[in-house]
Amino acid sequence: MITHPNCKINLGLHVVGKRPDGYHDLETIFIPVHDFCDELEITPATTNSPFPTIIQEGIALDNNPDDNLCMKAWQLLNNAFSIPPVQMRLKKNIPFGAGLGGGSSDAAFTIKMLNEMFSLNLTAEAMESYAARIGADCPFFIGNQTAYATGIGDELTPVDFDFQKLGLKVVVELPEGEHVSTREAYANIRIKDRKSRPDLREAIFRPIAEWRDLVINDFEDSVFPAHSAIAALKEDMYNRGACYASMTGSGAAVFGVFKINQ
């Protein structure tokens, strides 16, 4: 079984408070980008080992393969259902440390694939519950539909928004050699008053020419001073005719929204 876990972008990202557990409360719009994907293949194991295996291809990852989130997804379901071991092959195209949710997507797609392979009959809600134990944005990739996310990014409300219906397309790029850790991005974040911010669910339905002042990623203020190449890429997107451009997540990727005929 082969599937293609896609990435996501954040359309606006507000950091609105710090929680007692040390995490931050967020408000953002998650939008799936279906043409920027990894490749994930899962097949039954051919050895007698009770453990799964994974082969990582494509972009080199800085983790031990056994720590891959796909392996963690298998372990979660194995703990609950004693599923058979599998062989996984993951070809990474989505860079890590880019704010695109690639690892979370891989894990969520693993859950969905294992649910189908072993007829676990898990509901979407149940799969989201397992996914939430892997990463805050992991549940989003179960439904994989545009959603307004709150909490730490795990509380999702569907939003009826589609760039294509507006005659727009998304272009995602990453400055060469740039990587932003989540710890770095949060180190200098400034929490702003929620009441002074536009509601993103309303802002994205305003004319796109107004988005520069309405649809803001708070992490740009904390990331751009130390990563001028990311700021430069955003400006370059505008120079190339983007209707709107922004860093996604906590960086380092930037996306531009262009008219489809551009």
Catalytic residues: 8, 137
Q: Which amino acid is at 30?
A: F
8-state DSSP, 96: S
Coil, strand or helix at 3: strand
Q: What is the spatial distance between Cα 40 and Cα 107, in angstroms, rounded to a whole number?
A: 10
> Residue 24 to residues 10, 29, 136: CA-CA distances in angstroms?
16, 16, 11
8-state DSSP, 74: H
Distance of CA 107 to the CA centre of its chain: 11
List, as one string, the DSSP characters of 194-241: GGGSPPHHHHTTS-GGGHHHHS-BTHHHHHGGG-HHHHHHHHHHHHTT
Task: Look at the alpha carbons of 236, 203, 147, 137 in this order and tell me if their dihedral is positive or negative.
Answer: positive
CB 178 within 8 A of CB 229: yes
> Residue 94 to residues 44, 52, 262: CA-CA distances in angstroms?
25, 23, 24
38: which 2 tokens? Answer: 């990894």
Please name which of 101, 103, 93 lies closest in space to residue 248, comparing C-alpha atoms. 101
251: which 2 tokens? Answer: 């960086």
